[in-house]
Chains A and B, each alone.
Chain A
């Protein structure tokens, strides 16, 4: 049985055609009829389709009859390509024996791809190289193949040229999966061990876990045990995704599927946990994943204060589906009760916020993202600060340390100077530079993580016309000269608008901040004075003049309906404002304080 199973994932950079290739595989293996087919099929979320990216992996089972006449079960586990979601990639990889590495024939290898391939190699996965988009005018498949050989050590003769869009070379890919990727080798008669590699909450069935059975066999009705907690559950449903949920009687060693066990408490199915049998438990769990640690924090607050409990509930459910999300309650004088949430990056933050709003019908405000600072106080104690409003009085601070990351930027050699200039502006320290090929360079810098978070990537892309790609990992903390910038509206400090920045940039940032707030805070009945200060010292000031005109000149018979609609719209707009003292602040103001820096001058 197991020798006819292949478990694989796809590694690719954003836009290199991973989802299109997945669509083709579904089509060719007949998993979907023409009627069921639609683009980016495995990207379940609307958000993914809108942004054209993959956020969540969605496993799928394909039946493929190979040229040797045998029929194989191929379990495809799609993976995300963005740096924020590297952990999802590692989870997918742990459930596989092989991976397709898809590289765009006109773009070549990107920094992120490289990081993921190394991860797969570390996990001893068989790598199958694929060059996609060979149909495009700018395609240089031979150059890219050579690059893959030089950089990754793949044999270029084995790399498969394809066009997922036109359906060229897809069968070759399927054959390579069958021939090269090893079948799973777990003991079918052994004690049950199954890895939970993802889960989500279904309001009818409870928590649904995506699992890969490593050894043993799992049946409907079995009593199972979560090895991390020791809690037991009865399996109410198991099945495979082909790609729609199809129930089966059992899942055997090597198979991939889903499991429901009437688990009501979302914290009881932990991604990375091992499921075993209650009656005949395994002694050792499978190697789980490295716990991913969030690096970016921001406050999420419901616009309506009484939505706090709904937000808590939504976060709890979302966490089941997104184990990297962390949160704890906090309160803000300006925004009320909310949660300080930790994310893997800004895209992750944005996606979580949007999912909470869409899937749980919440209206949220996000404060400016912050990294975790470490402070040594004058009394010798060390504290962590992840919320700028909790920054202690400067008198009490002895030393401030901030996280630094090693950033690897892959770029054509024409842009080396440009990239170095940007890194210098962002307080970077040069580490080294390496030529992958005569034209492709990897530049490494040590950069404050906070600088990477504030539109570094946008700056990088615009200055290199999109040619640069970025990967980074956090290395540790370094001492830094940082200060807290406060914002006051009509003399009152708004805690949710505080940010931390480097002392040398404080004036520039303070000016940019008050200027930006002046533009986004609408005129109100009274003048609004916006000030930015360090401690008690005001370093920038702007004001929004009192509203002088807001009137409808005429309102007569034929026009009353339309005029009322205008007023209703105005009232709607007001509902999207947060009242702070007597000032109405647009709810996106809090987030926008970070969208300030060099490249976005306005």
Chain B
């Protein structure tokens, strides 16, 4: 484990979906029968057991992502958390998030999750407009989304995120404002707003290529981004990462770990682990993962990248600048050495002169005009 890291996150990948959304290219399997979910849970428990010895940092966050983690029964989650509490070192106030698809959860189910120790929900609403949900191929409607949010409150969740997507074909500012306002009506602590970006080959991309649907223009998308941002700021949300907003103090700890280039253990098929130096993927397919873990063997892993000091530093810049507060000089130098900042001084100066970066009180951060063209800035920090 790399020095200078004081905590880690645990990510659990639940690769099951009732149906794949039209814009999604993540690894998932269209099954959710109880037998499979039981077996997969046992395998996660097995993997957590096998890998515990190498991951000794205090655990600041636990995150069930997918796929559709809410397909797991609360007892599954409970079982997994029990192993983590037994074999790892979770902090007292560890953030424990489960991603929830509104179509796959009941009110008692949410209460059980709460009971199991989950303290944060990330609800995949995406839109409150049925026409848009339809384009996205979501399996729920807007009414179910609202109901899910109500139940979350009733179940006692005090930390809820709403995922929203903008840039959906046909969407205009009125639509997007409607979505933002509807979300805020439920007073979530956190709102993630994601631009619809299509990887080649997903069903929606094929419809666009065929001409039956048109993506918005760059100008329209930029307009939705900045107007949406104004709307959320006005309502008192803090913009803290390019796509993320939260009530003060309710930023997502788990994701801040990613942007701060912290360590994380990824468990489950398709999950990625990062020890500060190397990223490894638990390789698909699911069947091989299940076979390995059922036989108490470690999952097959693929090394995605191994980083030297220089690459780690570059990543710290790229990821750090995605955060609105940017990068703090002393924090950077503490981790990467006294020269870390100086290495990038000319790059920083050039970008500041173009009004893309701002340097202030020993921090460097993106100027707001750079948010939606941030790749042009971030890529400058790579060799």
Contact = CB atoms under 8 A, between A and B. Distances in A.
Given A525-B376, A551-B371, 14 more contacts: A525-B373, A549-B373, A550-B374, A551-B375, A553-B195, A553-B197, A554-B197, A555-B259, A557-B9, A557-B264, A558-B272, A564-B315, A566-B375, A571-B380
B294 interface: no
Interface residues of B, number: 42
Interface of A: 523, 525, 547-558, 560-561, 564, 566-568, 570-571, 574
Contact of B266 (A547, A552, A557): A557
B60 interface: no
Interface residue SS majority, chain B: mixed
A561 B304 contact: yes
8 contacts: A548-B221, A551-B375, A555-B258, A556-B258, A557-B11, A560-B315, A561-B272, A567-B378
Contacts of B197: 552-554
Given A548-B219, A551-B375, A561 B194 contact: no
Interface in B367-383: 371-376, 378-380, 382
B271 A558 contact: yes
Given A551-B242, A558-B266, A567 B272 contact: no
Given A549-B218, A560-B279, A571-B382, A554 B243 contact: yes
A553 B194 contact: yes
B383 to A, nearest CB: 8
A566 B379 CA distance: 9
Contact of A552 (B218, B258, B305, B375): B375
Given A550-B373, A557-B11, A557-B258, A567 B379 contact: yes
Given A525-B354, A567-B375, A571-B380, A557 B272 contact: yes
B372 A548 contact: yes
Contacts of B356: 525
Contact of A549 (B258, B274, B372, B378): B372
Interface string B161-194: 0000000000000000000000000000000001
A550 B304 CA distance: 25
Nearest to A566: B375
B299 interface: no
Given A558-B270, A568-B382, A571-B382, A551 B319 contact: no
Interface string B216-249: 0011011000000000000000000011000000
B332 interface: no
Interface of B: 9, 11, 13, 194-197, 218-219, 221-222, 242-243, 255, 258-259, 264, 266, 270-272, 274, 279, 281, 304-305, 315, 318-319, 322, 354, 356, 371-376, 378-380, 382
A560 B374 contact: no
A525 B373 CA distance: 8
A338 B133 CA distance: 58
Contacts of A555: 258-259, 319, 322
Nearest to A557: B258
Given A553-B195, A555-B258, A557-B266, A570 B219 contact: no
Contact of A556 (B255, B304, B315): B255
A96 to B, nearest CB: 55
A576 B324 CA distance: 31
A551 B193 CA distance: 13
Contacts of B270: 558
B362 to A, nearest CB: 24
A52 B264 CA distance: 54
Contacts of A561: 272, 279, 304-305
B281 A550 contact: no
Given A553-B194, A558-B271, A567 B243 contact: no
Nearest to A545: B219
A2 B13 CA distance: 83
A477 B305 CA distance: 63
A459 B18 CA distance: 57
A-B pairs, top 10 by smallest CB distance, nearest first, are A549-B218, A553-B195, A558-B272, A567-B379, A548-B222, A548-B218, A550-B375, A571-B379, A561-B304, A550-B373
B107 to A, nearest CB: 29
Contacts of B274: 557, 560
B376 A560 contact: no
Contact of A560 (B243, B258, B271, B372): B258
Contacts of B322: 555
Nearest to B356: A525
A570 B379 contact: yes
A558 B219 contact: no
B375 A570 contact: yes
